[in-house]
Amino acid sequence: MKRFKALILFPALVLLVIGCDKPPTKEIAAAEAALEAASEAEAPRYAPEEYSSAEQMLTQAYAEVKEQKYSEAKASAISARQLAEIARDAALKKKPGKEEGVGLREEEPKFGESGFTEEVLAGATGKGALGEGITISQLSTVYFDFDEYILTEEARETLNENAEWLREHPGAKIQIEGHCDERGTVEYNLALGQKRAESTRDYLVTLGIDNKQMSTISYGEEVPADPDHNEQAWVKNRRAEFVILND
């Protein structure tokens, strides 16, 4: 923990030395907070690989700030935050003796007064990548070509259908998850997954869906739909999925 606190002080010292153009202070602060939360969740013990990757990405962001590579630093800080969140959730899932009632991972999704009908809930097909929210058959997954985030014609057709449901349920809060196959580095795939989620969201915005209704997140290669190591599995893993978040 002492090491982590030392890391937190580092970017502030760097910024004082180099002055300011537009360093990604918000993104770095968010990454630091996420890493702190992961540490408190005992991720160094229960999710050491994920936690180490998050630390490395944050250290990389610090180095890029020092070199005044602010664009690269921003991307690294975002990746560090996402990795830290993955580490935190993985630790909470593996950690023994979790307090009963913490989180909603083992409970039925709750939607408060969002007005979803039994028919809609009957279409539930699963939960989000880390157990949050719910996936439904009415919002189909879209798939991408290898190393691409540009939507295929088939993906656009799928999104045209998804947009109809979203227009009929403007109160639904949707999280779009970007995923990749296992090829490439963890950092590269996190960035690629984010681009896939964002291109999916941006296309829906062109169809009239309110941007405020949707959020995006990347899990990179961390949550494969198919864990096998072959082309058949990779095709399934290059995707963007829709999760209705709990109220």
- Kindly report the number of other CB atoms within 10 A of residue 20's CB atom: 10
| 52 and 141 belong to one structural domain | no
Give the model's confidence band at 117: pLDDT under 50 very low, under 70 low, under 90 confident, else very high: low
| 124 and 80 belong to one structural domain | no
Total count of domains within the chain = 2
Chain centroid to CA 168: 26
CB 192 within 8 A of CB 167: no
What whole-number distance in Å separates Cα of residue 44 and Cα of residue 90?
11
pLDDT for position 78 = 81
Strand, coil or helix: 224: coil
| 191 and 125 belong to one structural domain | yes
| 85 and 151 belong to one structural domain | no
| 172 and 240 belong to one structural domain | yes
| 74 and 20 belong to one structural domain | yes
Q: Give backbone dihedrals phi and psi of 181, rounded to 5 degrees, phi first.
A: -85, 180
Burial track 99-108 (b if 16+ CB lie within 10 A, e otherwise): eeeeeeeeee
| Structural domain range at position 147 | 118-244
| 218 and 149 belong to one structural domain | yes
pLDDT for position 246 = 66
Flag whether the pTM goes above 0.75.
no
Q: Looking at residues 182-205, what average pLDDT do you find?
A: 94
| 177 and 213 belong to one structural domain | yes
What whole-number distance in Å separates Cα of residue 238 and Cα of residue 178?
8
Asked if residue 104 belongs to a domain, the reply is no
> pLDDT tens, 5-48?
444 444 444 443 444 468 888 888 888 888 888 898 888 888 88
Give the model's confidence band at 182: pLDDT under 50 very low, under 70 low, under 90 confident, else very high: very high
User: Between 186-206 and 153-168, two packed helices, what is the crossing angle to 10 degrees?
Assistant: 60
Partner residues linked to 214 by β-bridges? 174
| 168 and 215 belong to one structural domain | yes
- Whole-number percent of the chain with pLDDT over 70: 81
Here the tokens at position 77 are 């800080």
Give the model's confidence band at 81: pLDDT under 50 very low, under 70 low, under 90 confident, else very high: confident
Least confident of 128-132, 169-173, 224-228: 128-132
pLDDT for position 242 = 96
